[in-house]
Structure 1
Amino acid sequence: MATAEERKDERLPLVSGDHGDDKHVAAEKAHFSWRALWPNLGLHDWKGIAILPFLITLMIGGVVWPLVPPGLPAKTWHLFVIFAFTIFGIITAPLPVSAVAIVAIAVSLTTRTLPIASALSAFGAPVVWLIVFAFFIARGFIVTGLGKRLCYIVLGQVGQSSLGLAYGLTVAELVLAPAVPSNTARGAAVLLPILQPLLKDAFASDPALKTEKKIGSFLVMVALHANCVTSALYLTGCAASALTARMALSALGVELGWMRWFMAMSVPGVLDVALMPLVLYWAYPPEVRTTPEAPQLAREKLKEMGPLTRKEIIMIGTFVLLIFLWIFGDLFKFIDATSTAIVGVAILLLTGVLDVTQHIITEKAAYDTMLWFATLVMLAGNLTKGGFFDWLSGHVSPTMSKLPWLVAMIVLSLLFYFSHYAFASLTAHTASLFSALGVVAVSAGAPAPVVAVMFAAYSPLSGCLTQYGSGPSPAYFATGYVSVVDWWRVGLIVSAWHLLVFNTVGLLWWKVIGLM
């Protein structure tokens, strides 16, 4: 028979503090149970959702799900709960953003909140595909080397400091905005393909190298916020502005032509865009502030690149055609922005600049963005169809009628601005709330022209709040330079700047030009 010592050796080591044989056997059994079970479950390398936040979300969701407010359809409330938790999931990131979006679709289907056709409706939305094809156009700039060449040209002109580059991007947006009426095309397909190689090649600021804060994060934020402000400055700055003008006339009786729009936005808008890079320089500063050697480096790199290649020339020609069609196609209504982008990519494929296997199918960022952006567009759109925002504005109206008109107008404009957290489209935001809240403000005594221009400004400006808030936002976010937390934090700070300018300088200017 084995001795006691030999039997002891056959067992697992004693747990600290155990001295009796019975305790030893119990500990051995418990340890064996976990050791045997854990590898079979595969939990030691679990890569799914974070379990604790998921359970907490389920518990909170279970509590609020049945609390349907009076006057609101149950399915609309349930969709709002799904939307709210989707946003919560995007912020806390228990899964990648696209995975959160897929889960949201699955929940909306399994709870019978939405039918399959509604749940997948936004995957055919033109704005979603405009973003996808903008990624492919950007790939053309990269593979031909034209993006690199352009970045060195920019660097040679305004590359002495990060602030100089910020103003270079802002001026580019300011010049392009009245001519390119799609803010998505302007930001995602024109400026971003030039900006990315500038950051990576000239400054070695790359999320893959963990050097995004060097200068890239700052400049990506400048580019996006410049896009939002210039979209507000011109009637042709973005598609939502044209819709705003139509709704101002039909709902408020205010005609906003191109010149009247620009006159109303000029003073507050120019002040806003002129100081916005400085606001970001303070709120989200780059690590590298001065780059005195950059212009000389740029000249040397351009010399090394030599003359334009055949593919670069094709890319330039395609790019010029795209700009022409984005300007005049929208103006004369013979081709829309998304169709133009598709035509551009087709030309690049036909001429061999892009290869469908190497450059289209493998463009993971484009498909990742499509998944989560289309999901948010779908959720917000179905909330609108379900009457959620009509119900919300109906509850706001009685309270606003008791306030002085200036207070009521400012409160309603802030509600309009920050309600954009619930939207993934400037156009959907405007279509849902502009008329409803605008009419409430006018009924409280606010001058209709002032309400029209204030809401018209806040529609595109509010696109800076989130990484899904406007067409170009997902493309800029997909570069990986700015985290979700930083995006929301900086968006809130810059929003405070926008609101300060338009609620002070804007109101004074509108009084000067006779709108109130």
Structure 2
Amino acid sequence: MKSKIWKLILMAAFPVIFWFTPPPDGLTVEAWRLLGFYLLAIVGLILRPFSEPLVLLSAVAFAGIFLNNTKDLLVGYSNTTIWLVFSAFAISTAFVKTGLGKRIAYVMIRSFGSTTLRLGYVTAFLDFIISPVTPSNTARSGGIVFPIIHSVAKALGSEPGETAKKAGSYLIINTYYTMKVTSFMFITAMAPNLLTADFMNKILGTNLNWGNWAAGLVVPGLILLLIYPFIGYYLDKPEIKRINNKEIARQGLAELGVMQPTEKLLIAIFILALVGWAAPSLLSLIGIKFTLNATAVALVAMVLAFLFGVIGWGDMLANKAAWNTLIWFGGIIGMATALDKAKIFDWLAHTISTNVSFTYSPFTVLCILGFLSIVVRYFFASASSYVVAMLPVFLTIGKAAGADPMALALLLAGTNSFGGLVTHYGAGVAPILFGAGYNSVTKWWINGAIMAFIGFIVFITLGYAWWDLIGLLQS
């Protein structure tokens, strides 16, 4: 209780200080005081005296009382991207409930998992296939991929301790590597991506929708999915090279039984959603202008899952991650929207550009900010907390320094995800995978740092070239 009290005092200090100090030139009193309540929310998300939804509801509630701007603060709940991700949570729930995620995994193991290295690639592409509709990477990797890979390791006689090197240490840590890649490839693959896109669109003036996000990040993501399992294999060579994948798959599929009608319906809904999300961007490449709102597609997919009995409303009510995301992301987006309306981000960019001399080229600035974002990400156990606390700072500095807006946006979207590879607490699923006991802290951190550096190099070379090739860059 004492710890909570001190955290609450520290949080409350920000709005109090900002309330009784005069605003700097260029800001109104209302905007300055609003910034104090926003910092209360940021500090609350980092210190976590309570859960994220309660922290954000508190910030919104007290800001609404003292600033009389409740309507502006609640506008975040009408944000279409939030409802896009919320709908994707429903499809994610269906993948777990119907067993389709596990069935896909065992089919892939049967077809391609004859060696330990190939099984590493099976893990990568399984995560990739289901990532567009699973915004909780904890549910995806911790609830679908990890139990299967963990059972495979045990079937191979690899347990924590003396036999960990047989196969388990590589297979488990590779699950983390690949999850960190698939999490940035689609805007619906990780819940914080929607916050990322919202900040980028507000501060940089970019147009990061589902299609542009995927167009920019799928290619560097696929490159890393080809690299990571291979590099990870040689950093932690398993003793077992070949696997009786046919028998493992046979047992797994036997437990699941014959494919149920709900699984077939889910496949159809899944494909329709992907086509709906990608169609406008794909058609635009051949000169056809076609508008189809991504959120509307997601809502239809969710409703179809309910109407055809793939999942029930009770299943959605039980999905705490979906409701937590809706509540606290809506709150933070509402506060960020109010800050944008008050021109605080513009003021910050102008202040930085006026008082700081940038002697580096825009590309050099891009590289520096990308590297720093990985270093700073080390201090955050939550991708969401990192986005709220640090992303606006990096975006504003990059904007003031003249970095290409879309390149900066896509680079920081990636570093937020694979920057979390460095530690064993860099994502919600990390304690699950590390807690399996197959890997030491030293190996996890060293290998993770190597993988994060490789991801950074791929982004500023091949990724940057790809963005330029498809016309995303403005400079």
Shorter-chain TM-score: which interval? Answer: 0.5 to 0.7
Task: Indicate the percent of aligned positions where both proteins have the same amino acid.
Answer: 20
Q: 1:200–1:265: structure 2 CA closer, same or farther, 3 Å change rule?
A: closer
Residue of structure 1 aligned with 2:408, choices 455, 458, 471: 455
* Corresponding position: 1:196 with 2:143: yes
Measure how far apart 1:359 and its partner are: 1.6
CA distance in 1, matches of 2:146, 2:48: 26
Measure how far apart 1:454 and its partner are: 3.5
Q: Tell me if the contact between 1:147 and 1:194 (Cα under 8 Å) persists in the aligned partners.
A: no
1:398 partner letter: T
Q: How does 1:39-188 map to 2 (within 5 A)?
A: 50-59=4-13, 62-63=16-17, 65-67=19-21, 68-112=23-67, 115-157=69-111, 167-168=121-122, 170-171=124-125, 185-188=132-135
* Corresponding position: 1:441 with 2:402: yes
Q: Tell me if the contact between 2:75 and 2:334 (Cα under 8 Å) persists in the aligned partners.
A: yes
Q: Give TM-score scaled by structure 1 length.
A: 0.61
- Superposed CA deviations along residues 87-129 of structure 1, whole A, max 9, x for unmatched, are 32222221122221222222212321x5111221111211111
Q: Per the alignment, in what secondary structure is the counterpart of residue 120 of structure 1? A: helix
CA distance in 2, matches of 1:228, 1:200: 22
CA distance in 1, matches of 2:302, 2:469: 48
CA distance in 1, matches of 2:460, 2:268: 44
Q: Tell me if the contact between 1:135 and 1:366 (Cα under 8 Å) persists in the aligned partners.
A: yes
Q: Tell me if the contact between 1:318 and 1:344 (Cα under 8 Å) persists in the aligned partners.
A: yes
Provide structure 2 residue ranges, at least 5 long, that are not aligned to the other structure: 153-159, 161-167, 188-192, 284-288, 377-383, 421-426, 435-440
Residue of structure 1 aligned with 2:327, choices 340, 363, 371: 371
Q: 1:452–1:361: structure 2 CA closer, same or farther, 3 Å change rule?
A: closer
**Matched residue count:** 415
* Corresponding position: 1:328 with 2:328: no
1:150 partner letter: I
Q: Per the alignment, in what secondary structure is the counterpart of residue 203 of structure 1? A: helix
Q: 1:73–1:465: structure 2 CA closer, same or farther, 3 Å change rule?
A: farther
Q: 1:190–1:288: structure 2 CA closer, same or farther, 3 Å change rule?
A: farther
- Superposed CA deviations along residues 452-494 of structure 1, whole A, max 9, x for unmatched, are 6632532532442899xxxxxxxx84998489xx9xx999987
* Corresponding position: 1:383 with 2:339: yes
Q: 1:511–1:218: structure 2 CA closer, same or farther, 3 Å change rule?
A: closer
Which is worse superposed, 325-334 or 343-352? 325-334
Provide structure 1 residue ranges, at least 5 long, that are not aligned to the other structure: 1-45, 177-182, 206-210, 232-236, 251-256, 443-450, 468-475
- Superposed CA deviations along residues 151-193 of structure 1, whole A, max 9, x for unmatched, are 222343565788755544544677x7xxxxxx98455399965
Q: Tell me if the contact between 2:110 and 2:246 (Cα under 8 Å) persists in the aligned partners.
A: yes
2:292 partner letter: I
* Alignment partner, residue 294 of structure 2: 337
Q: How does 1:235-254 map to 2 (within 5 A)?
A: none
Q: How does 1:204-283 map to 2 (within 5 A)?
A: 219=175, 222-228=178-184, 274-276=226-228
CA distance in 1, matches of 2:233, 2:29: 46
* Corresponding position: 1:313 with 2:264: yes
Which is worse superposed, 90-99 or 184-193? 184-193
Measure how far apart 1:302 and its partner are: 1.0
Q: Per the alignment, in what secondary structure is the counterpart of residue 50 of structure 1? A: helix
Measure how far apart 1:140 and its partner are: 1.8
CA distance in 2, matches of 1:65, 1:491: 43
CA distance in 2, matches of 1:94, 1:382: 25
CA distance in 2, matches of 1:80, 1:412: 27
Residue of structure 2 aligned with 1:350, choices 307, 313, 329: 307
Measure how far apart 1:203 and its partner are: 2.6
Larger radius of gyration: 1
Q: 1:387–1:218: structure 2 CA closer, same or farther, 3 Å change rule?
A: farther
2:353 partner letter: S
2:402 partner letter: A
Q: CA RMSD in A?
A: 5.5
Q: Tell me if the contact between 2:53 and 2:328 (Cα under 8 Å) persists in the aligned partners.
A: yes
CA distance in 2, matches of 1:413, 1:313: 45
